[in-house]
Amino acid sequence: MCSGRIDLAFVLRAFSNGMDGVFIGGCRLNECNYITQGNYDALNMVLLCRRIMEHIGLSPERLRIEFMTSGEGILLTEVINDFGKKVRELGPLGKGEEIDEGELKSKLEEVTKLVPYIKIVKREKLASRLENEEEYEGLFTKDEVDRLFSEVVSYHIDPEKCQACMICFRKCPAEAIIGAKNQIHVIDQEKCIKCGTCLEACPPRFGAVREISGEPVPPPIPEEERTIVRKKKGK
Among 43, 177, 178, 186, binds ligand SF4 (CB under 6 A): 177
Site string for ligand SF4, 191-210 (x = CB under 6 A): -xxxxxxx--xx---x-xx-
Residue count, binding to ligand SF4 (CB under 6 A): 28
Q: How many other CB atoms are found less than 10 A from the CB of residue 8?
A: 22
43-51, 66-74, 177-185, 216-224 -> range binding ligand SF4 (CB under 6 A)? 177-185
Own/partner long-range contacts of 78-87 (Cβ < 8 Å, ≥24 apart) = 79/23, 79/25, 80/23, 83/21, 83/23, 84/21, 86/21, 86/61, 87/20, 87/21, 87/62
How near is the Cβ of 197 to ligand SF4 at its closest, in Å? Answer: 4
Q: Indicate the residue among 13 and 210 with the shorter CB distance to ligand SF4.
A: 210
Site for ligand SF4 in 24-43 (CB under 6 A): none
Residue 164 contacts residue 208 (beta carbons within 8 Å) = no
Q: Indicate the residue among 79 and 165 with the shorter CB distance to ligand SF4.
A: 165
Give yes or no for residue 80 binding ligand SF4 (CB under 6 A): no
How far is the C-alpha of 161 from the C-alpha of 111, rounded, in Å?
32
Residue 175: CB partners within 8 Å, gap ≥ 6?
191
62-70, 74-82, 87-95, 186-194 -> range binding ligand SF4 (CB under 6 A)? 186-194
Site for ligand SF4 in 125-164 (CB under 6 A): 155, 157, 162-164
Among 65, 111, 168, 178, binds ligand SF4 (CB under 6 A): 168
| CA proximity to 197, closest of 222, 224, 219, 176 | 176
How far is the C-alpha of 108 from the C-alpha of 114, rounded, in Å?
10
Q: Please compute, for residue 206, the number of CA atoms within 13 A of its CA located in the half-sphere on the CB side.
A: 23
Residues at the contact surface with ligand SF4, assessed by CB under 6 A: 155, 157, 162-168, 172, 174, 176-177, 179, 185, 187, 192-198, 201-202, 206, 208-209
